[in-house]
Amino acid sequence: MRLRYCLLASTIVACALAQPAVSAPWTRGFVVRDYGFAFRYGGRPGVAETAPAADCARGSATHFNDEAEMRTALSRQPWRSSREIEAIIAPPGIEKARLPTYVRFYVWGRAVSYRGWRKGIETYVNPFAAHDPGQPQVVSRISDGFDLDGNPKTGGFTSAEGVRGIDNALYRAWGCDAPFRNPASGTLDLRENTQMQEGLYTVVIRISGNQDPRNDSDATVEIGYSPDKIVRDARANVAPDYSYRIVKSEQYTRLKAKIRNGVVETEQVDRLHVPRIGWFPDQMGDADFHKGRLSLTIAADGRAASGFVGGYRKWLDLLAENTFAQTGAEQGIRDHEDAVGLYYALKRNADGMTDPKTGHNTGISMAYRIAAVPAHVVDPAKPAQVRRLPADEERNKGFETVKAAMIRAVTTRTVQDVPLGTGEGQFPAMEKTIADLPSRDFFLKTFDAPGRLDDQGNVVPLAPDAKPDRQVNINGPATVASGNAR
């Protein structure tokens, strides 16, 4: 018999008061309504995503925010003339263009996409070949997440409940990145949850045991995708008590757990697969935590659950998922983040999954926060798959291609061209946009591009470099623990 029936039935008293726990199989399901990086916001609620606070002493990152920020970013390339920089900042004759704002957006975008130590290096595929623009880091000592290595002396964070040695290096690295800083207003955090609730994807959790849902020494936790869209109620909140199938795709994980007073703690496993966060279809996929754990606190009445799932993730995967959601430039200019800064911040803070050959840490400790409402999580009656539209497949292929190029570039330290036809390698989007710009020729001549146009106007790849760059050494400034240099 299902637990909820037991509670609802006229035998409620017998059920609730029986001590010790009634030995009966029970199941509780939840659908995730809030999913995002476990970045503890240090400011007052409802105020700012950018203001200085306990987490970020100098506020959020402000890359590409205005003309001054742009000038700073472009001045880091020794090969750019000041004339070029000024032309980029204010393209001559822009007032004559029909879409001046798009002209500028695309010109800025192309400029920030080529910030290598020499001309011709696409920055988002080759972040290692660009100067570190700096990334403000979290200075707070309190963090959400887990002590993943079982060592209270590492990690450098203490949880709000007083657990020492919390490993959440991603928070330190990225916690001051503007679009993820405050769950109430951070653009990408909001966008991610809005898209999820509107049906981009659904994450469900099922907890079961044989003792008592609040105290069970031998419980099981399952987490994975559901092919069923989240149902929202008349007030647009995620509606409770709806049924969702759980599919045993690659992102499905089953864990042993212990429950004490409603707090569910799973075992720590070598590989913990869960759906990752995203706001575009091509970001959907596997989070693949190493040394993963999950912890959830269930409300006494069973009507809510909140907690974390975490572990170490390959930090290059995280970089790719965030950068290539659209293009590095688009996301950077819109959301004031610099993927180069994020790259160096990850590299500095990487704290796990050490490569035995190189001795480098390929992983970074992190967690996702979870808030969920009660649901009926059921096994599919017929085989079911995670939703994906045919149109998404093409985008996903592009994402995987450009991600592979970036990983190849960073791991071999060999400059890679941008694969054409991918989001990052979109061409000639800028060239088309500036067609009616009087200073068009200047930009066409000066700017690097992911490809070139042949005599017939067809897009063709660039000729490969005779001697690929290797072992580039960048002697730029790096900001470690304080705010952005500006």
Partner 1 sequence: MALPRRTILRGMFQGATAVMAVPFLDCFLDGKGQALAATGQRIPTRFSTFFYGLGLTTSLWVPKKAGLDYETTVQLKPLEPFKKKMNVFSGMRVMVDDNPNFQHWSGNAAIATGIAPTKVSQFDSKTIDQTIADTISRGTRFKSVAAAASGDPKHCYSSLGGANTLPAEPSPLSLYTRLFGPGFQDPSSGAWKPDPQVMLQQSVLSAVTDERKDFMRNLGAGDRARMDQYFTSVRDTELQMAAELQRPDVVAKVAIPAAPGEMPVNYALPNVRAVTPLMARLGALALATDQTRVFNLAISEPGSNIFVPGDPLGYHVTTHMEAIDPVLGYQPHVAQYNIYSMELLASVLQELDAIPEGDGTLLDHSLVFAYSDQSYAKIHAVDGIPIMLAGGASGRMKTGYHIAGGGNAVSRVGLTAMKAMGLSVDSWGKGSMETRNAYTELLA
Partner 2 sequence: MRNKAALAVFLVGIMCGSALGWAAGSDQVVKLRRLSEQEYRNSVGDIFGKDIAVQGMFEPQIRISGLVATSTAVLSVTPAGFESFSKMADSIGLQVTDAAHRGRLVPCAPKSANAPDDTCAAEFFSRYGRMLFRRPLTADERQARVNLAHTMTRSSGDFYGGLRYGLAQMLQSPNFLFRKESAIQAGGKALKLEPYSRAARLSYLMWDTTPDAELMQAAQTGELNTAAGLDSQVERLMASRRAEAGMRAFFADMLELDTFDTVSKDSLIFPKWSAAMASSAREETLRGAIDLTLRQNGDVRDLMTTRKTFINRNLAAIYDVDFSFDGEWMPHEFPLASGRSGLVTQVSMLSMFSHPGQSSPTKRGVALMDIFLCEPTPTPPANVDFSAINDTSGPLKTVRERLMAHATTPACASCHTHSDPIGLSLEGFDTIGGRRLTENGRPIDLSATLQGKTFRDGPGLGRYLHDNPKFPACMARKLYAYAKGVDTEEVDASTFKTAYQAFADSGYRLRTLIKGLVESPEFFDTQVAIKQVSARQ
From partner 2, partner 1, none, which one binds at residue 99 (CB under 5 to 8 Å depending on kind)?
partner 1
Assess 14 for contact with partner 2 (CB under 8 A): no
Residue among 40, 104, 115, 369 that touches partner 1 (CB under 8 A): 104
| Smallest distance from partner 1 to CB 257, Å | 34
Nearer to partner 2, 224 or 341 (CB): 224
Nearer to partner 1, 98 or 360 (CB): 98
In this chain, which stretch among 35-43, 111-119, 348-356, 374-382 interacts with partner 2, using CB under 8 A? 374-382
Q: Provide the mask over 60-99, with x wherever binding to partner 1 is found by CB under 8 A and - wherever it is not.
A: x-x--x-x----------------------x----x--xx
Assess 48 for contact with partner 1 (CB under 8 A): yes
Assess 382 for contact with partner 2 (CB under 8 A): yes
Assess 194 for contact with partner 1 (CB under 8 A): yes
From partner 1, partner 2, none, which one binds at residue 46 (CB under 5 to 8 Å depending on kind)?
partner 1
In this chain, which stretch among 192-200, 285-293, 313-321, 370-378 interacts with partner 1, using CB under 8 A? 192-200
Assess 390 for contact with partner 1 (CB under 8 A): no
| Smallest distance from partner 1 to CB 389, Å | 7
Q: How far apart are CA 387 and CA 226, in angstroms?
A: 8
Residue among 31, 178, 296, 340 that touches partner 1 (CB under 8 A): 178
Nearer to partner 2, 10 or 81 (CB): 10
Reading the block at residue 134, the tokens are: 């700096």
Q: How far apart are CA 50 and CA 34, in angstroms?
A: 21
Nearer to partner 2, 93 or 240 (CB): 240
Contacts made by residues 16-23, CB under 8 angstroms, sequence distance 24+: 20/212, 21/211, 21/212, 21/215, 21/216, 22/211, 22/212, 23/210, 23/211
Nearer to partner 1, 258 or 334 (CB): 334
Residue among 218, 233, 394, 436 that touches partner 2 (CB under 8 A): 233
N-to-C CA span, the chain: 63
In this chain, which stretch among 7-15, 86-94, 306-314, 467-475 interacts with partner 2, using CB under 8 A? 7-15
| Smallest distance from partner 2 to CB 13, Å | 10
Nearer to partner 2, 301 or 455 (CB): 301
Assess 252 for contact with partner 1 (CB under 8 A): no
Assess 245 for contact with partner 2 (CB under 8 A): yes
From partner 2, partner 1, none, which one binds at residue 67 (CB under 5 to 8 Å depending on kind)?
partner 1
Binders of partner 1 among 227-246, rule CB under 8 A? 229, 233-236
Q: Which residues bind partner 1 (CB under 8 A)?
A: 46-51, 59-60, 62, 65, 67, 90, 95, 98-102, 104-105, 178, 185, 187, 190-191, 194-195, 198-199, 229, 233-236, 333-336, 389
Q: Which residues bind partner 2 (CB under 8 A)?
A: 1-2, 4-5, 8-12, 228, 231, 233-235, 237, 239-243, 245, 376, 378, 380-382, 384
